[in-house]
Structure formats: structure tokens, C-alpha cells
A and B are shown apart, each in its own frame.
Chain A
Amino acid sequence: MGNYTELLRLLAYLVGIIAFAALNAAYLVWLERKEAAHIQRRIGPKEVGPYGLLQPLADGIKLMTKQLIVPAGADVILFKVAPLLILAPAIASFVTIPFSETLVARNINLGLLMIFAFASLNVMGVLIGGWGSNNKYAVISAARAVSQNVAYEIPMLITAITMVMVAGTMNLNEIVMQQPNIFKWYIFRFTASPLMPVAFLIFFICSLAETNRAPFDMAEAESELVAGAYTEYSGMGFGVFFMGEYANVVIGCSLATILFLGGWQSPFGVPADAHWSLFLFKPGILWFLIKLYLLCFTVIWVRWTYPRTQFYGLLNLSWKYLIPISLFNLLLTGAMLKVFQS
């Protein structure tokens, strides 16, 4: 009987997460187009369904009916594996994301570490896709993506180490439980380090770079590299890349929510006399999703505000600003922990 429930749990997780990832990819594209349009004072998709809400469906059908073309001279296996290498780790990462106190597929003690381990596979997908396409633009893009990811993984991991030091655990659910209201969110935990908002900013910037989102979309620089590593992909090959990219955005934003913004906790805390019918006070998936999508909104907002800079500008930002500041924050946090908590 025990095995049976395990199997059910696995099935529920697989179906739930894949549906969540696919829906997110579809509707983040919709959100992206709508948001971009309104920032440019247009309307955006509006013809297919009310407010263009069925547009992702139409796009999906279009992508699925297109032929998957493998260019001559491409490395067929690598070419076909690459999109999966971006999507699969993202889906696997959802295992440890606590959507609410109880809604988590596997509450792993090393959840944070696992997510970073999977996230580092992401760049492998871009590299293999670029290399396997046998296309000069794709190879240039892949090389750029790798050096960019190397540069941005460092400050991100340093910030993550800082957070682990403060929280004392890598279990994501426990990290969330330590932040019961807005004043105890780690972004405002000034007793741990006065630079916490900066740490959040660094983490956020790095997650933009890790997911190859603009202004860090060196891998896909449309204006100079056609579509970068995705140049040779057609139909659902490209669709899977896209799904992977958006799934990674969701993972990055979930992680930022969990580490800094209190995850599924309500910002007002839970007042002792709170009536449970006051839905807003109830910690749970609602708050998690609100925070998650506010961050996703910001990710898109950033993309439609800033132009892509030159490549060395991105490396400068990482090596000259983000890494020293995050290292300083690490030292400061360590010192403050030593002084105030021991």
C-alpha cells in the first residue's frame, strides 16, 4: 500500500508540474506580449479569444504542426537533446519548490543545492544546442552564453551561501517558515546584514542572466546573431527551448520569492485572532503565486525597459560590481552572525 501512494504522489507531481510548467510558458508569453505592448502603449494580442487569452493556444498549435528540420551537417543527437537539456532540469527543479506549507513534491533537506545543481545544466543545453546546429551564429552564441553564465553563477552562488548562512538550512520549506511576516522577510532582515536588499537585487540580476533574459540575452541576440543558439531550431524544438526558458524564469523567481520574500507566507503575518475566512491573511499558495508573478512581471518589465548592452559590459557588471559586492556582503554577514548570534 505504501508503494501505491508513492506512485500516486509521483504521478501527481509529474502531471501537476508539467502542466504548471507548460501553462506558465504559454501564459508568460502572453503576459510578455501584453506587457511589452502596454509599455509601448499598444494593446498587444487581442484577436484570439477575449484579451487575446487564446493566443498561446494558437501559437502552440502552430509550433506543433511545423516540421522539425535538422540542418545538414548538424550533430543529430546533440541537436535533438539540447532542448530537453534546458526543459528537463527546470521541471526537475520544481520538485523542491514549496508552493505552500504542504504542497511540495519532495521536501528535500538540500533543496537549494539541488536547484542550483540543476540550474547549472541549463547552460549546457544552450552550449550543446549551439554546437550541434553546425551554424556559426549558434556557436558564437553558445560561447557567449557559457562565459556569461560562468560570470553570473558566481555572485548568485555567493548570495545563496549568504542566505544559507543566515537561514542555517538548505531546506526551502524551513527557510520560508523562518519568514512569517514582512518584517522578518530576509530582504528586510537588517539584523543579519544591512545589505540584504542589495543581496536580493544581486540575486535577481543574476537569475535574469542565468535564464538568458534581456538585458542579458547574449545567447539569443536577435539583432546580431539571428536567434543565437536557437537559430536552426524549428517547430516544437524551438517551442521546447522557449518552454525551458520560461520554466527557468519561474524557477528563478520562485527561488527569489522563497529566499527573500517569505515564500508562501502572508506579508501581514498571522494575527492571533485572525479569522480563517480572511483569505488574505492565510499563508499558502495564493501568496506564493502573487509574489512569484509580481517577480515574473518585473522580469518582463526589465526586458522591455533596457536595451541589450555589449558583451563586455555584462562581464564588467558581474566581475567588477556584483562579485565584489556579494563577497563583501558574505563577509559582513559572517561577521554579524559571529558577533550577534554566538
Chain B
Amino acid sequence: MSGYFNDLFSGTKSLAVGMGITLKYFFEPVVTLQYPHETLKMTPRFRGHIDLVKDEETGESKCIVCGMCQKACPSGCITVEGEKKEGAKKKTLSSYTLDFTKCSLCGLCVENCKPEAITFSKDYNLAGPSREAYVFDLVKRMKERCSP
């Protein structure tokens, strides 16, 4: 019989405590981010897909077309092509293609890049109508990023 009343009172008390907690939360400020209207600033260590870094002096990519990123890539999603321009000592980058559908974001390419010509982008809003939309032309992306 005492168990009956114990259950009754402790049960009622715990229900009241629960109501108290939810009421407290009701008046506390909202913690969610209103996503399409507000976005989070990504942290410095965020690993998006890779992007080329622009050399501020020349306005071109820092890439020396050594091909280390392409070799290091375990998924084989990087294709680097360069050409030797007339009179130039070094090769210059002509195209840098990233097939992001295969990329596992391991970052080996960034680690292996001696001239620090590639970084992780902070882009996480990725959506596209087809698989081909994820084969990025990074040279074009770099120019688009820098032009406006």
C-alpha cells in the first residue's frame, strides 16, 4: 500500500519536473540556424573539395605542374595538364580537373603540394543535376572566384 502512494507521489513529482524543464526551454532563446537565410562560417580546418590558390604576384595559379597531387591521389580523381610556353623556363598549368564524384576528401593532394598551390575550399552547398556537374575545372573556378 505504501508502494502505491510512493508511486503516486514520486510519479506526480517527476511529471511536474518534466513540465518545468520544457517550460524553461520554451522561454529560452532559439538555438537553431535559419539555414537558407543564415549560414555558418566554416572553420579553417574544414575540408571541402580542393581549389587552386592564386599567386597574388602573377595572377596565375601557383601550380608548377609537378603532378604530385595526381600521383598521390588514391582515387585517381585529379588530372593535371601543363604546357611549356614559348620562351618560358617552367611549365604552366593549362588545365586542372577534379572529378569530385570519386574524391574521398583524404587531403593527400594538399599535403603533397610543394608550392601550396591547392587548398580545401569552404564550399559545402553542392547540388547538381548530373554526375558531370561534379567534374570541376579548377582553373575556371579559380578565375571565377577571383574575377568579381
Q: Say if A and B assemble together.
A: yes
Contact yes or no, A38 B26, CB < 8 A: yes
B18 in contact (CB, < 8 A): yes
A40 in contact (CB, < 8 A): yes
A312 in contact (CB, < 8 A): no
A304 in contact (CB, < 8 A): yes
Contact yes or no, B15 A306, CB < 8 A: yes
Q: Which of A42, A301, A306 contacts B32 (CB 8 A)?
A: A42
- A195 to B28: give the CA distance in the assembly, Å: 34
A305 in contact (CB, < 8 A): yes
B30 in contact (CB, < 8 A): yes
Give a binary string over B8-34; 1 marks a CB under 8 Å from any A CB, 0 the rest. Answer: 100000010011011101111111101
Contact yes or no, B19 A41, CB < 8 A: no
Contact yes or no, B31 A41, CB < 8 A: yes
- Tell me the residues in window 50-69 of chain A with beta carbons closer than 8 Å to chain B beta carbons: none
- A233 to B141: give the CA distance in the assembly, Å: 51
- A320 to B8: give the CA distance in the assembly, Å: 10
Contact yes or no, A42 B22, CB < 8 A: no
- In angstroms, how far is the closest chain A Cβ from the Cβ of B104? 33
A183 in contact (CB, < 8 A): no
Contact yes or no, A41 B32, CB < 8 A: yes
Q: Which of A40, A305, A321 contacts B19 (CB 8 A)?
A: A305
Residues of B within 8 A of A41 (CB): 25, 28-32
- In angstroms, how far is the closest chain B Cβ from the Cβ of A205? 10
A35 in contact (CB, < 8 A): yes
Contact yes or no, B32 A39, CB < 8 A: no
- In angstroms, how far is the closest chain A Cβ from the Cβ of B148? 29
Contact yes or no, A321 B15, CB < 8 A: no
A43 in contact (CB, < 8 A): yes
Contact yes or no, A306 B28, CB < 8 A: no
Residues of A within 8 A of B31 (CB): 41
Contact yes or no, A42 B30, CB < 8 A: yes
A23 in contact (CB, < 8 A): no
Residues of A within 8 A of B28 (CB): 41
Say whether, besides A306-B15, A321-B8, A301 and B22 are in contact (CB < 8 Å): yes
Say whether, besides A301-B19, A302-B19, A43 and B25 are in contact (CB < 8 Å): no
11 chain-A/chain-B pairs, Cβ below 8 angstroms = A38-B27, A39-B25, A41-B28, A41-B32, A42-B30, A43-B34, A46-B34, A301-B19, A301-B22, A302-B19, A305-B19
Q: Can you add 13 more A-B contacts, CB < 8 Å, to A43-B30, A43-B34, A301-B22?
A: A35-B26, A38-B25, A38-B27, A40-B25, A41-B25, A41-B28, A41-B29, A41-B31, A42-B32, A43-B32, A301-B23, A306-B15, A321-B8
